[in-house]
């Protein structure tokens, strides 16, 4: 399914790993909260059978640009929760879509707003049996883990962007997420192969393979914030 492949391709450009799934669809893989820290994600069942969806919340912290630490929310750390979901367990009928609300709990607990707050939201589907019981563990399909971000109110932008002949390396030293548009188009190149957009969260370093069509080209780089209030351009020379 083209839609699922597109979602998977986009998410492989991010900080985490997401398993491909044909069982259901999430409408976005990166959710930026509103000013109050709240958001919505929509799940759709594209299977011919009902699905039981089990959702989890994992708070993310990144060390040394590479190590991703996850703190799973549960009853034992309820007082530390910074967000909650309106539905952590739900049933989707064939073809049905449902909105899942994401609510900030920062009015109840201490939240450090000096940097983006980041969360992984694993949604794990399994077949739903007619007797009202979720499918067994053997039936569970791989799901999606969208990233939820509550942006800092005081963004500071700092990053390194370098290249080799085959890769572009982005180290986001900012306290917030950045979008990086890479344009290596010339008069003979197809726009589909010479333009790429990458998303790199705060404190993360990622390397991305450059298409063969732009391996030796100059690269025009545009860095923007999630809300487009910040924008900066730079040039990476080709023919290395």
Buried b (16+ CB within 10 A) or exposed e, 116-150: bbbbbbbbbbbbbeeeeebbeeeebbebbbbbbbb
Nearest alpha carbon to residue 114 among 62, 60, 63, 152: 152
Residue 10 in this model has a pLDDT that exceeds 80 = no
List the structure tokens of 237: 């020379």
pLDDT digits (tens, 9 = 90+) for 181-199: 999 887 555 666 788 999 9
List the structure tokens of 233: 């351009």
- The mean predicted confidence, pLDDT, of the chain is 85
Task: Supply the pLDDT for residue 110.
Answer: 87
Residue 82 in this model has a pLDDT that exceeds 50 = yes
Domain architecture of the chain: domains with CATH: 2-150 (2.60.40.10), 159-236 (2.60.40)
Q: Quick check: 26 and 146 in contact, CB under 8 A?
A: yes
List the structure tokens of 42: 């929509």
> Which of 16-25, 29-38, 90-99 is the least confident region?
16-25
Please give the C-alpha separations between residue 119 and each of 27, 59, 83, 104, 170, in angstroms, as whole numbers.
17, 4, 9, 12, 21
Q: Quick check: 145 and 70 in contact, CB under 8 A?
A: no
Highest mean pLDDT among 29-33, 124-128, 212-216: 29-33
Residue 235 in this model has a pLDDT that exceeds 80 = yes
Cβ-in-10-Å burial (0-12, 13-18, 19+) of 14 comes to buried
Q: Is this prediction's pTM over 0.75?
A: yes
Residue 97 in this model has a pLDDT that exceeds 60 = yes
CA dist 65 and 164 (Å) reads 19
More confident residue, 3 or 228: 228
pLDDT digits (tens, 9 = 90+) for 118-138: 999 999 888 777 665 555 444
């Amino acid at each position: 399914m083209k839609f699922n492949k597109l979602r998977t391709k986009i998410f492989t450009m991010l900080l985490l790993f997401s398993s491909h799934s044909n069982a259901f669809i999430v409408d976005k893989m990166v959710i930026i909260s509103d000013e109050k820290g709240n958001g919505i994600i929509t799940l759709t069942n594209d299977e011919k059978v009902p699905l039981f969806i089990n959702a989890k919340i994992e708070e993310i912290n990144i060390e040394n640009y590479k190590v991703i630490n996850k703190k799973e929310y549960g009853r034992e750390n309820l007082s530390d929760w910074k967000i909650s979901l309106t539905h952590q367990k739900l049933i989707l009928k064939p073809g049905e879509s449902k909105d899942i609300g994401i609510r900030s709990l920062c009015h109840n607990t201490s939240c450090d707003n000096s940097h983006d707050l980041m969360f992984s939201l694993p949604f794990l589907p399994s077949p739903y049996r007619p007797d009202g019981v979720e499918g067994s563990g053997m039936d569970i399909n791989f799901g999606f883990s969208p990233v939820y971000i509550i942006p800092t109110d005081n963004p500071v932008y700092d990053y390194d962007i370098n290249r080799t002949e085959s890769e572009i390396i982005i180290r986001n030293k900012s306290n917030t997420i950045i979008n990086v548009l890479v344009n290596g188009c010339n008069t003979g190149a197809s726009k589909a192969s010479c333009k790429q957009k990458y998303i790199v969260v705060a404190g993360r370093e990622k390397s991305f393979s450059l298409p063969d069509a732009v391996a030796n080209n100059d690269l025009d780089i545009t860095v923007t914030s999630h809300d487009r209030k910040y924008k900066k351009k730079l040039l990476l020379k080709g023919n290395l």
